[in-house]
């Protein structure tokens, strides 16, 4: 085997091995991280605790889906990012060093160019970056809201009834934000909040 053949074999092997984490995320399930203090340990009344726990239990499937999608999209996003940058950097130098008498050198350039084109096509066509951002943002926003209700419930209103009502509304806004992201529409959370206020 020539040097170009070895380089081609090394490139193909590395691209496949580094793709494995993204493939594992595609076919594996994720587990929600165990939280800290829960509603059961909060200062709310027993009736409010039951409502909050039931609401959270209904959301667990959604939260697991968000986390799974964020993980899948993040791994493929960084795979595309790293390989497009690396391959784009080495292409000009490989072009200058190509050996016309060795077909493997031409095949290496072709494989690298095709790899870059495929990565860019999938990344843009499937909107990987946008989906990664939306699912991660929705997941983070929910847990921030969850912790704020436990730590500073007064920020939701002066009394328990108002606090629960406001909390449920904010969670629903976050769910609509992520749902719109899934359907290829990405409004800001602030826009949905303004829309919700206008309807009241």
What pLDDT digit, counting tens, does each position of 69-126 carry? 999 999 999 999 999 999 999 999 988 888 888 899 999 999 999 999 999 999 998 8
pLDDT above 80 for 186: no
pLDDT above 90 for 162: yes
The per-residue b/e assignment along 10-42, b for 16 or more CB within 10 angstroms, e otherwise, is ebeeebeeeeeebeebeeeebeeeeeeeebeeb
pLDDT above 60 for 198: no
Percent of the chain residues past pLDDT 90, beyond the cut? 54
How many Å apart are CA 35 and CA 47, to the nearest integer?
22
Which region among 134-148, 151-165, 177-191 has the lowest average model confidence (pLDDT)? Answer: 177-191
Render pLDDT for 42-70 as a digit per residue (tens, 0 to 9): 888 889 889 999 999 898 889 999 999 99
pLDDT at 185: 47
Residue 92 near residue 77, CB atoms below 8 Å: no
SS3 of the chain: helix, strand, coil, percent, to 5: 80, 0, 20
Task: Report the largest interatomic distance among the alpha carbons of the chain, rounded to a whole angstrom.
Answer: 81
pLDDT above 90 for 164: yes
The CB-based long-range contact list for 146-152 (8 Å cut-off, 24+ gap) reads 146/35, 146/56, 149/52, 150/37, 150/39, 150/42
The angle subtended at Cα 49 by Cα 47 and Cα 50, nearest 5°, is 65
**Prediction pTM value:** 0.76
Q: What is the mean pLDDT of residues 150-156?
A: 90
pLDDT above 80 for 154: yes
């Amino acid at each position: 085997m020539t040097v170009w053949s070895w380089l081609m074999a090394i490139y193909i092997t590395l691209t496949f091995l580094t793709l494995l984490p993204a493939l594992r995320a595609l076919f594996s399930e994720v587990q929600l991280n165990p939280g800290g203090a829960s509603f059961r340990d909060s200062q709310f009344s027993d009736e409010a605790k039951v409502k909050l726990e039931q609401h959270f239990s209904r959301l667990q499937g959604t939260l697991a889906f968000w986390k799974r999608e964020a993980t899948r999209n993040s791994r493929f996003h960084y795979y595309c990012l790293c390989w497009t940058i690396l391959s784009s950097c080495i292409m000009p130098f490989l072009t200058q060093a190509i050996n016309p008498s060795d077909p493997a050198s031409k095949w290496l350039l072709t494989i690298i160019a095709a790899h870059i084109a495929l990565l860019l096509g999938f990344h843009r066509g499937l909107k990987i970056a946008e989906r990664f951002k939306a699912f991660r943002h929705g997941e983070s926003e929910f847990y921030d809201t969850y912790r704020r209700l436990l730590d500073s419930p007064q920020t939701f209103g002066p009394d328990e009834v108002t606090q629960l009502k406001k909390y449920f509304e904010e969670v629903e806004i976050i769910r609509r934000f992520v749902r719109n992201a899934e359907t290829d529409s990405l409004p800001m959370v602030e826009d949905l909040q303004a829309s919700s206020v206008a309807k009241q």
